[in-house]
Chain A
Amino acid sequence: MTKQEWPLYEVFIRSRSGLSHRHAGSVHAADDEMALSNARDTYTRRSEGVSIWVVRSDRIIASDPAETSAFFEPAEDKIYRHPTFYEIPDEVENL
């Protein structure tokens, strides 16, 4: 008998209020509730977070590595789109 693997879920953690969720890793789980539990027990054991999102990995629509040049290169030579011409005050964090 072959072992049936549980589906993979991607885990996103918000480390504290005001920040956005960041990808922390992935877990295997048999259902959505278990995915949330497993994410909590795997990635927030050392109080890394205040909020967790989980999503099944096969539900994520990802860009195709073969199309990297068409997707991203056109933006590379347009420096005027970068906000590098502003002074950012020291008090602004997390930008």
Chain B
Amino acid sequence: MRSTAISAAYATRLGDNALVLGQRMIELVAASPELEEELANANFSLDYIGQARMFYTYAGECEGAGRTEDDFAFLRPEHEYRNLLLVEQPNGHFGDSTVRAVLFESWYLLLLEALTRCADEGLAAIAERAVKEVRYHVRHSSQWLVRLGDGTEESHARVQASLDNLWRFTGEMFAPDDVDEQMHKSLNGPDLAAIEPQWRRNVAAIVAEATLELPGDQWMASGGKQGKHTEHFGFLLAEMQYLQRAYPGAEW
């Protein structure tokens, strides 16, 4: 693979992670438990959508085929999306969304930090901007995990169930495919094998502070990076892409 092709593929999958999680969080707008949390959630989802725009625009430039950010977001079918299965999981209750955020963001933060040091200056610059936002997101979601885990008996039991349920989507984050390997080897990109122990340490520390139990080794779901998604994903895309599909080229 040429280095621009690697960059395009890598930027696309990071854009997909950001857009899909951003869209999931947008679904929660007007449904937060408190007014202040409502604002925080909306801010964070817009941070993610902003990151997706930067990644897609850059992917389009590297690809050189004239695709815009909108083409990436609204005109690709399900199997062309390369996001992790974790971020497309439904919001569930507040504990589910919190656990999803903690598991993903603590990985994403380490990935972005590594990406700021990669040889592709365009990706490094995007990572530099995104890393500040995500550092704050991790702080926010981790504090919530501690509050819920170390809260009442009810909140403890429910958030433990969320953690047990979503844990099977974490293996995929550390299973490199061809694009991850090439990004790491030819462009000094993130090394997933090096990130894994750090992620485990960080997550174990938050989970312990939340008085929760870290789930044991188990079967791990995967397929997101190959475009094989869970059954929830089609519904998310259908809602997100509806307008561009129904009225091609619509602008506002």
CB distance from A29 to the nearest CB of B (A): 7
B143/A42 in contact, CB under 8 A: no
State A38–B39 Cα separation when bound (angstroms): 8
Residues of chain A within 8 A of B40, CB atoms compared = 37-38, 41
**Interface residues on chain B, number (Cβ under 8 Å):** 12
Q: What is the bound-complex CA distance between A28 and B35, given in angstroms?
A: 9
Given contacts A41-B43, A45-B43, is CB(A28)–CB(B143) below 8 Å? no
CB-CB < 8 A to A29: which residues of B?
Answer: 36
Q: Is B231 an interface residue (CB 8 A)?
A: no
Q: Is A6 an interface residue (CB 8 A)?
A: yes
The secondary-structure label for the interface of chain B is helix
Chain A residues with CB under 8 Å of B143's CB are 33-34, 37
Q: Mark B20-60, 1 if CB is under 8 A from A, else 0.
A: 00000000000000111101100100000000000000000
How many Å from the CB of B129 to the closest CB on chain A?
14
B135 CB contacts on chain A under 8 angstroms: none
A contact residues around B139 at 8 Å (CB): 37
How far, in angstroms, from A30 to B146 measured CA to CA in the complex? 13
Interchain CA distance A31-B43 in the complex, whole Å: 21
Chain A residues numbered 30-81 whose CB sits less than 8 Å from any CB in chain B: 30-31, 33-34, 37-38, 40-42, 45
Q: How far is the CA of A30 from the CA of B143 in the complex (A)?
A: 11
Chain A residue numbers with a CB within 8 Å of B35 are: 28
Interface residue B140 (Cβ < 8 Å from any Cβ of A): yes
Q: State A27–B136 Cα separation when bound (angstroms).
A: 19
A78 to B140, CA, bound (A): 51
Residues of A within 8 A of B (CB): 6, 27-31, 33-34, 37-38, 40-42, 45
Q: Can you list 6 A-B contacts with CB-CB less than 8 angstroms, sorted by A residue number?
A: A6-B34, A28-B34, A34-B147, A41-B43, A42-B39, A45-B39
